Structure 1
Amino acid sequence: MGDLRQPFAGTANGDRISTASSRLTRRRRLRACHGCDLVVALPPLRPNERADCPRCGHLLARRNRLPVQRGLALASAAFTCLVLAVSFPFVGFQVQGVSNRIELVDAPVSLIDFGEYLVAISVLLTVVVLPALYLIGLIWLHSSLLRSKLLPQSRTIARAILHVIPWMMADVFVVATLVSLIKIVSYGQIGLDPAFWFFCAFAVLLLKTNQSVDADWLWFALAGEPPAPAGTRTGETAAGQGLTGCAVCGLINRLDDAAPTACRRCGEHLHSRHPQSLQRTYALLATATVLYVPANVYPIMTTTVLGASEPSTIIGGVLSFAYHGDLPIALIIFTASVLVPVSKILALGWLCVNAQRRVPRDRGTSARLYRAVEFIGRWSMVDVFVVAILVALLRAGAVLSITPGVAALAFASVVVVSMFAAMSFDPRLLWDAPRNGQEKGKDG
């Protein structure tokens, strides 16, 4: 761990750090924390070390051993596994002499057959397309660094791939596949084909690849480190100095009030705070709340067994798993489809209220809550993926088949909209100075 864990002395509300610990510096690499806006100097980091913000705990930078070789090897291996996963049969199912074998891409394609175009696109993008583009981009960048010669559009690609990361859900799809197979194992025989194992390997390698990417190091290797603006002081907020940290490459830039500002290193558009952050977050949360009603009221899928059709809601599916003794699966579905979306909406609403009121108490707790909300949001896609897999796999007509319900689109929309809500919220608002007359408290 870097020496940023050494606490700064500060006032009670933590908005201004004492001038004794503030110093002018241009010799060390400076960063403005994306979680609380505190300007800090990065310490020298050895391999397998990381530097966290001393005030809110947000990750600032980390270092890996042999980052170019490691990143290139992991990205290449993950991409190879993905190619193999889409090239062979994924899973198979047989009931009463009727068998069906599907490939990975059949899951979204089958949804198109039932007119669920938006759900199909979301499944295809999050499971195959975006991970593939991400890995290709990383291979491109690391190949450039290995050759010590930048390939065309390297900086544009580096900017793009960092925006893709939250939308890659291969690991969620693996869990959804297992849930789907457990759901139908009592109806017939299931088979795990080669593509399933290739995809599991791909999901693991993709996670390892993400962990190997350090945006701070990557941008330093691609474009160097322009000096911080003259007069930048550590231990104070960037906004208080007319500065802001780039959300993509981390470089501190001086804002120009007269014209839009772009990052000097990567070209990203810069703002001291996300424009209309609270208004957008409130609007998206309201949209997600409204969509969550039909997502639970209407069937998410309809199961036909021997000619008898039975619609199933999200809660109905949870109760069905619990009734048949599959309590762990029932708990997974309940957590992903009920607990996570509701908790996320409530948590973001609470954070918006705190940011709007600028309450100085429990800021550390609020920062940790926001990071948790960011992490768990995408796992709600489990139920959507389960529907996609079952619709593709169970196509035995009146003997056994599953069709998507209207709630599938509504629930997928809840997940996507709530993720956009989390991205729209600016956690730095939690640390802004309290309004006049408000009680000052201690950071959490």
Structure 2
Amino acid sequence: MKRPSLPVNTPQVDCSPPETRTQRRRLRACHECDWVSALPPLNSGEKATCPRCSHVLVKRHRYPAQRSMALALASLVALIVAVSFPFVSFSVSGVGNRIDLSQTATTLIAFHQPVVAIAVMMTIVVLPAVYLVSVVWLQFGLLQSRPMPFSRDIARSLAHLTPWMMADVFIIGALVSLIKVAGMAQIELGISFWAFCLFAILLLMTVQSIDADWMWFSLEGEPLAPEGTLTGTTAASQHVTGCPTCGLINRIQHGKERCVRCHEKLHKRLPHSLQRTWALLFAASIMYIPANLYPIMTTTSLGSSAPSTIVGGVVQLIQMGSWPVAAVIFIASVIVPVGKLVALAWLCLMIKRSNELNAQSRTRLYRLTEFIGRWSMVDVFVVAILVALIRAGSLMSITPGPAALAFGAVVVLTMLAAMTFDPRLIWDTHTPRPLRRKAATKEPVDG
């Protein structure tokens, strides 16, 4: 009996591991410059980079499922310890206070700052916990060779959660807070503090251990790239695009397609990218005014209150002799947000005046703005910790100011602006010159 042939539109799925595939080339379209290149065979500890803009396309890890699952489980254990024990305590003149991790958020609610409280709890506990549980869920199924239910949807969400997890930024904020009050009171670090430091490190290691290419291949295989897709040119010129989540190249014509592998929405270019980026930058610029004019916190000592703005706090730290802490706050709260606003505005303005040399430098600038944006949350975390910790009545207490909400909004808006900016637009304004290397460059992974 003759076996029925597959329909023409049915993707042919190759279920062999990526490392051992040698029969055909695997194609990727760079998310930053849209260049189509072929992935070389990769060994553990190697990465493939775009030959046009040097963006990392794929990183290969040894034992990706076992490694990421072990790190995720260790991170969850550290997080459970961190939320179960005292975080830090202080005492001054026989009066003191001890807080746990959750109080850094719940105390803000008592001072009518629920939005800031939710942002703090979501970024340091809730979203990291969801991410880690998702990693365990996915990798457990892959280790059993039977993906768990909803694995595709969960895997698709991982990349969207990553930018909003800020446990490492919170640790910097905690250190800054402790240094600020160390000269005025006696500080004692609890078990939770050290557990959270360990958690932040393990969380970073977990994120770095995820081999998205291997994971998606193991979950869904890899359908063939659209017939006729060529390397050494852009994806848009061939009416295809690379999925921003799983990397698969898909045919796109009407602008409403979804990836055949992960079902992510696909666009040749992010719709209205420049308009949305400008709108978010304008909103962030407006919010940055009250963030600097109004006090970010008010310190009460011996019955007298002293409101402090962001810049005023930096000046106060300098007067106290805490130059390193003042530098951290000034960089995170002034230089980073202002620099990000200026950089993104400049990229939008110069988008039609690019050549290939400028495109490379502007792409590097975009990567920098995308990386540093989250670190501005340091000041918000400093306020959250100090407000929860320093509660000794008229002897010494700290209350949050209206600038905390405004500055938090600036951080979120600038992060969203970087996400809505499509870096491929930088490369669209000139005709690409032929490259000798049509395959991605294979390099060892740093570290």
TM-score of the superposed pair, with normalisation by structure 2: 0.90
Q: Say if 2:88 and 2:99, in contact at 8 Å, map to a contact too.
A: yes
Asked if the contact 1:242/1:255 (under 8 Å) is kept, the reply is yes
1:99 CA displacement: 1.5
Once the two structures are TM-superposed, the CA of residue 353 in structure 1 deviates from its matched residue by 1.4
Say whether residues 1:400 and 2:396 are aligned partners: yes
Aligned to 1:46: 43
Q: Is residue 2:329 matched to residue 1:304? A: no
> What is the one-letter code of the residue matched to 2:112?
G
Secondary structure of residue in 1 paired with 2:57: strand
* Preserved CA contact (<8 Å) 2:390 2:397: yes
Equivalent residue, structure 2, for 1:92: 89
Q: 1:166 aligns with which of 163, 184, 188?
A: 163
Aligned pair partner of 1:151 in 148, 151, 166: 148
The residue aligned with 1:218 is: 215
Q: Distance in 2 between matches of 1:89 and 1:373?
A: 35
Give secondary structure in 1 for the equivalent of 2:350. helix
* Other structure's SS at 1:206 match: helix
Query: Of residues 195, 199, 202 in structure 1, which corresponds to 2:196?
Result: 199
Q: Percent identity?
A: 59
2:367 pairs with one of 366, 371, 377: 371
Aligned length in residues: 412
2:344 is aligned, of 348, 352, 368, to 348
Which of 256, 263, 266 aligns to 1:267? It is 263
TM-aligned CA deviation for residue 36 of structure 1 = 0.1
Q: Deviations over 1:401-439 (max 9, x none)?
A: 00000100000000000000000000000000349xxxx
Is residue 36–residue 55 contact of structure 1 (8 Å, CA) maintained in 2? yes
| Aligned with residue 382 of structure 1, among 374, 378, 381 | 378
Tell me the equivalent position of 1:7: none
SS at match of 1:269: coil
The amino acid of 2:217's aligned partner reads F
315, 318, 322: which one pairs with 2:318? 322
The Cα offsets for residues 259-283 of structure 1, whole Å up to 9 and x where unpaired, read as 6101000001100000000000001
Corresponding residue of 1:114:
111
Look up the match of 1:8: none
- SS state of the match for residue 105, structure 2? helix
- Counting only pairs closer than 5 Å after superposition, residues 60-71 of structure 1 correspond to structure 2 as 60-71=57-68
**Alpha-carbon distance between aligned partners in 2 of 1:356 and 1:101, rounded to the nearest angstrom:** 56
CA contact 1:295–1:410 (8 Å) conserved in 2: yes
> Partners of 1:260 and 1:421 in 2: how far apart?
23
Query: Helix, strand or coil: the match of 2:84?
Result: coil
Q: Which amino acid is the alignment partner of residue 398 of structure 2? A: I
Residue aligning to 1:3:
none
Given that 1:292 and 1:414 are in contact with CA atoms closer than 8 Å, whether structure 2 keeps it comes out as: yes
Question: Match for 2:346: what amino acid?
Answer: W
Describe the SS at the equivalent of 1:102. strand
User: What is the root-mean-square deviation of aligned Cα atoms in Å?
Assistant: 1.5
Residue 409 (structure 1) aligned with residue 405 (structure 2): yes
Aligned residue in 1 for 2:78: 81
**Is the 8 Å Cα contact of residues 176 and 382 (structure 2) preserved in structure 1?**
yes
Partner of 1:35: helix, strand, or coil? coil
**Aligned partners of 1:228 and 1:253 also within 8 Å:** yes
Contact 1:131–1:168, Cα closer than 8 Å, also in 2: yes
Unaligned runs of 5+ in 2: 1-21, 434-447
2:437 matched residue in structure 1: none
Residue 140 of structure 1 is aligned with which of 137, 141, 148?
137
Q: Write the distance in 2 (CA, Å) between the matches of 1:183 and 1:86.
A: 24
Give the deviation of 1:188 after TM superposition. 1.2
- Alpha-carbon distance in 2 for matches of 1:295, 1:356: 33
Inter-partner Cα distance in structure 1 for 2:424 and 2:314: 38
TM-score (norm 1): 0.91
User: Which ranges of structure 1 fall in alignment gaps of 5 or more residues?
Assistant: 1-24
1:288 to 275, 284, 288: 284
Letter of the 1:272 counterpart: K
Report how far residue 356 of structure 1 moved.
4.0
- The answer to whether the 8 Å contact 1:299/1:311 transfers is yes
CA drift of 1:136 comes to 0.3
- Give yes or no for the alignment of 1:27 onto 2:24: yes
Q: Does 1:248 align with 2:245?
A: yes
**8 Å Cα contact 1:278-1:356 kept in structure 2:** no
- In structure 2, distance between residues paired with 1:260 and 1:243: 13
Structure 2 CA distance for aligned equivalents of residues 216 and 278 of structure 1: 30
Q: Is the 8 A contact 2:352 2:429 kept in 1?
A: no
Cross-structure match for 2:7:
none
For 1:428, which of 417, 421, 424 is the aligned residue?
424
Instruction: Deviation per CA, 1:213-252: give whole Å up to 9, x if none.
Output: 1222211111111100000000110000000000000000
Alpha-carbon distance between aligned partners in 2 of 1:230 and 1:152, rounded to the nearest angstrom: 31
Determine the C-alpha separation between the residues in 1 that align with 2:372 and 2:354.
25
Q: Is the 8 A contact 2:300 2:394 kept in 1?
A: yes
